[in-house]
Amino acid sequence: MEKDKAYKVLAQQEDISNNKAKELIDKGLVYVGNNKVKIARALINIDTKFRVEEVGEFKVIYEDDDIIAVDKPSFVDSYDIADAIEGATLIHRLDRDTSGVLLLSKNDKFLEKAIVEFKARRVTKRYIAWIEGVFYEETIVDAPIVTSRKGKAVSRIDELRGAKALSTIKPLEIQGKKSKVSIEIATGRTHQIRIHLSHIGYPIVGDELYGSRTKAKRILLHAYQISLLGYSFTSKEPREIYKYK
């Protein structure tokens, strides 16, 4: 059977450029059956049939002279949203797979105030996730995190060199051997929720980097609510978060 690189086969199938095909694979949007295509240059049979997941459009939840609150869909980069909104600057960011509330500032003065609030830990951030295993008791995880940024960012627990990280996890629902939980974070380290849940033995469903053995279209993590400087914004749970199955 003749083979070629995955991105080239995809480009021909979808009638798109090679660069666009690579981008779709790199963003985790391309599947063969239920298996995600992870390596754009991997050799694959030329008659392979791909499935490309559609990316939703972001929606503005609220806007005034200082702030814009956006409902970010999964598979969209936070920086791409900032680029799409003229004059807006990210106040924080969400991982590409993570959906939910994303905040942007419309002026430097408000941005400076927001940064102060984040540093002082006066920002309330609540997330919702589906995790592996049966989780039934509120747990506080106080475990310092260090992040390696060679290539893709990867975090780990490091008691000596890690930065302080605090997460409070509460059970919401149990479905078979999966649990739905609420997470509040007092700090905002890279991949904090993902590594903390993995650290206590409950990786997020679909998060293969941190130990999930369940295949999913995305990492099942949603930024449900954020409050700062008198504002509070909520993002409705998308279908895959609202109900696991």
pLDDT value at position 32?
80
pLDDT value at position 152?
80
pLDDT value at position 226?
97
Select the more confidently predicted residue: 111 or 217: 111
The CA distance from 211 to 221, in Å, is 15
Out of 1.20.58.100, 3.10.290.10, 3.40.50.1820, 3.40.1390.10, which CATH number does the structure's domain 3-52 have?
3.10.290.10
Residues with catalytic function: 95
With CA atoms as reference, report the closest residue to 66 among 229, 235, 234, 223: 229
Output the six-digit token pair for 89: 């600057």
* Residue 131 CB coordination number (10 Å): 27
Q: Which of 20-34, 65-79, 141-155 has the highest mean pLDDT?
A: 65-79
Per-residue pLDDT, averaged over 93-102, amounts to 94
CA distances from 161 to 49, 152, 158, 197, 198 (A): 46, 20, 6, 20, 19
pLDDT value at position 238?
92
pTM, entire model: 0.84
What pLDDT, in 10s, does the model give residues 204-224?
Answer: 999 999 999 998 888 999 999
Residues of the chain with CATH 3.30.2350.10: 59-242
What pLDDT, in 10s, does the model give residues 124-142?
Answer: 999 999 999 999 999 999 9
Whether residue 191 is predicted with pLDDT greater than 90 in this model: the reply is yes
Which CATH superfamily includes the segment(s) 59-242? Pseudouridine synthase (3.30.2350.10)
Residues of the chain with CATH 3.10.290.10: 3-52
- For residues 172 and 180, is the Cβ–Cβ distance under 8 A? yes
Is residue 51 classed as helix, strand or coil in its secondary structure? strand
pLDDT value at position 174?
95
Band (47; pLDDT cuts 50, 70, 90): confident
Mean pLDDT (the chain, rounded): 90
pLDDT value at position 22?
82
Whether residue 50 is predicted with pLDDT greater than 90 in this model: the reply is no
Whether residue 41 is predicted with pLDDT greater than 90 in this model: the reply is no
Whether residue 245 is predicted with pLDDT greater than 80 in this model: the reply is no
pLDDT value at position 183?
98
Whether residue 225 is predicted with pLDDT greater than 90 in this model: the reply is yes
